[in-house]
Amino acid sequence: MGNGMSPELKRLLAERRIMRTKPDRKLAEEELKEARSDLADAKDSLERNKFKWTTVQGYYSMFHSARALIFSRGFREKSHYALLIALKEIFRNELESSLIRAFEDGMNLRQEADYGLKFSEAGALDVVENAEKFMEKARSILKM
């Protein structure tokens, strides 16, 4: 990272919306455990046609997988947006752009479901599918 750091990441670090910490494998493992739990809950909600909750739980599976990634590299975030920027910057050479887009799409779908009460079966299915792919990629990167 160093000198190649984006202005956006520099700004978030200066504002303390992203902070440097000691890399923490144990915390990363706990986050992946939570990601698995949220994904299982999302799949259960999907089977019961609870598309709002499927969307929310599926996104939070991705959220916890993403936190596991940044914790492993010695960063902590203070917002969903900051987490997205950290993923884009810190894992730009390890995460496919399609997975970063899936995370951002899931973030937006969760926000719409939670605050706008707008959700759909198609959106819920996408979030669950992407959460599974995202978690598997995080586990692969972290070798967990």
Give the pLDDT of residue 65: 98
- The structural domain count of the chain equals 1
The answer to whether position 2 is within a domain reads no
**pLDDT by residue, tens only, the chain of 144 residues:** 445 788 999 999 999 999 999 999 999 999 999 999 999 999 999 999 999 999 999 999 999 999 999 999 999 999 999 999 999 999 999 999 999 999 999 999 999 999 999 999 999 999 999 999 999 999 999 999
The predicted structure's pLDDT at residue 45: 98
At residue 138, the pLDDT reads 98
Judged on CB neighbours under 10 Å (0-12, 13-18, 19+), 144 is middle
Give the model's pLDDT for residue 5.
83
Q: Is residue 9 part of a domain?
A: no
Per-residue pLDDT, 4: 75
Q: What is the per-residue pLDDT for 63?
A: 98
Partner residues linked to 19 by β-bridges: 76
Domain-embedded: residue 15: no
Does some domain include residue 35?
yes
Dist. CA 97–CA 36, nearest whole Å: 22
- DSSP code of 19? E
- Cβ pair 93, 77 in contact under 8 A: no
The encoded tokens of residue 74 equal 């010695």
Nearest to 111 by CA among 84, 86, 90, 135: 84
104: in domain:
yes
Check: CB of residue 74 under 8 Å from CB of residue 144. no
**Distance, CA of 96 to CA of 12 (rounded, Å):** 23
For residue 104, the model assigns a pLDDT of 97
Query: CATH number of the domain that 32 lies in?
Result: 1.20.120.330
Residue 74 domain boundaries? 23-142
Q: Is 56 within a domain?
A: yes
4 within a domain of the structure (yes/no): no
Model pLDDT, residue 3: 55
Residue 118 lies in a domain: yes
Annotate 77-92 with b (16+ C-beta within 10 A) or e (fewer).
beebebbbbbbbbbbe
